[in-house]
Amino acid sequence: MKKLALTLIGGMLLLSSMVSPDPDMWAMFSKTRFIEKLNREFGMYFLYPKFSDELKALEGTTVTVSGFYIPLEMNASNIAVISKFPQAECFFCGGAGPESIVVGYLKKKPNRKIKTDEIVKIRGKLRLNEDDIEELNFILQDAEIILD
């Protein structure tokens, strides 16, 4: 009986070590370097990302990001912006960098109103945007919001 218990415990430990946890996406995003370049179409300088190889390897895979919900519209929308920081400190309002926000294009609208700065998780397929200045750099497609 003891052998069976030890074998089961050993097997569970081995399996748990083989399952890799979700990577810390904010840490991955923070490895992105930004280069200021002239955009001739707009006649202005913009920050263009140079993604790490580690992050590029995750493109097209399903990832989960946890952060502060930043509403774009008053009513529920199929677009969700998640920030590493609360709204007062976020990229749009406070001076954080573009590596601190991600946009999710949701498969369906949330089933309830999500409050500004509510901490949520969003899961979707990662797409990296290098050159479209009208879009965020980190995009989750076919995304879903996970409310605890």
- Domain membership of residue 91 (yes or no) is yes
| Residues of the chain predicted below pLDDT 50 | 4-20
Judge whether 115 and 137 are in contact, CB under 8 Å. Answer: no
- Domain membership of residue 9 (yes or no) is no
| Distance (Å) of CA 100 to CA 28, 60, 90, 140 | 11, 20, 7, 14
- Domain membership of residue 44 (yes or no) is yes
Gap between the terminal Cα atoms of the chain? 40
**CA–CA distance, 143 with 115 (Å, rounded to integer):** 18
Q: What is the CATH number of the domain that holds 87?
A: 2.40.50.140
**CA–CA distance, 47 with 32 (Å, rounded to integer):** 11
Structural domains of the chain, count: 1
**Which pLDDT score, from 0 to 100, does residue 74 have?**
60
Q: What is the DSSP annotation of 61-105? A: SEEEEEEEEE-SSSS--SEEEEESS-GGGSTTTT---GGGEEEEE
**Which pLDDT score, from 0 to 100, does residue 76 have?**
62
- Domain membership of residue 33 (yes or no) is yes
- Domain membership of residue 14 (yes or no) is no
pLDDT in tens, 25-62: 999 999 999 999 999 999 999 999 999 999 999 999 99
Two structure tokens written together for 92 = 């749009």
- Domain membership of residue 3 (yes or no) is no
15 CB burial (10 A radius; 0-12, 13-18, 19+): exposed
| pTM over 0.85, yes/no | no
* Domain that includes residue 97, residue range: 19-146
- Domain membership of residue 142 (yes or no) is yes
- Domain membership of residue 10 (yes or no) is no
**Which pLDDT score, from 0 to 100, does residue 124 have?**
98
**Which pLDDT score, from 0 to 100, does residue 7 have?**
46
